[in-house]
Every structure is written in structure tokens, then in C-alpha cells.
Amino acid sequence: MKRIMVDMSATLIHHGHVRILQKAKEHGYVIVALTTDDEIISKKGYVPELTYEQRKEVLESIRYVDEVVPSKWLLDEAYLDQHKVDLLVHGHDNSNQVNEKRLLILPRTNGISSTLLRSRVLDALSSIMKKESKDL
């Protein structure tokens, strides 16, 4: 069975994550390369809403996921080799430096991302705070 890797941060897990994992599962054994907390802080500039261990627990409960391993922000051939990966599955925004023969690019799910969800929550919180300050 082929070993398929999907790399993600999954800071706010949503249906787009599930869809890419489902597609990856069609190709074999799915390993999620989950970005560590330190990498998210370093690359995205914020502390993730869920810790690495919490995100890992959620991902391991998804039926399309066979294994979860910690990862840096970007993957390379050495990392794929370390985990005996045949194919890396990623959205069209891929920046990983891997051989194209080991890469399957899938379209991202339109209208959803962890960034968008985070923005919606912050907007809702801002609206609530404005309303409460008017009520005082």
C-alpha cells in the first residue's frame, strides 16, 4: 500500500481538511504531517487555538487518517524519505520543495480556511464587545 502524506497546521479544523484527507485516503495509507506549535508561532505569528497534542487527537479521530507525525512548516525530500512517503498531497498553494513525481496537488475547498474562520470569530467578538459597550 502506498504511503501518502498530507501536511497541514489544522489550527481550526474544518470540512476542507476532511475533504483533502478523504481524497488522500483514496491513494493509500495516510500520514498527516502536522505543523508543531513552535513552527506555527514562528511562521504565522500567533499561538494556535489548539495545541499540537489537541490537534493531533482530533486528526487521529478522523477515519481517513492512519498516522500523525510532527513537522516543520515546509517539507523536503529528506522528510518524505524519513517517513517512507510515496506521495505528498497538498492544496494548490504548495510551497514544499519536493520532486513533482512525489506531489499531488488538489484544489482547495472554496470559501473556507482556518484564517477565514479565525477572522469570523474575531469579527463576531468585536461586534459583541461594541454592543456591550453601547449597553453600558
| CATH number of domain containing 52 | 3.40.50.620
Q: How many domains does the structure of the chain reveal? A: 1
Residue 82 backbone class (left: φ over 0; alpha: ψ -120 to 50; beta: rest): alpha
Q: Return the minimum-mean-pLDDT range out of 33-37, 81-85, 126-130.
A: 126-130
pLDDT at 115: 72
- Whether 118 maps to a domain, the answer reads no
Nearest to 9, CA basis, from 26, 42, 28, 24: 42
In a domain, 75, yes or no: yes
Full-model pTM: 0.84
131 domain-assigned: no
Domain that holds residue 80: 3-108
Cell numbers given for 37: 506549535
Segment 75-98 shows an average pLDDT of 93
Asked if residue 13 belongs to a domain, the reply is: yes
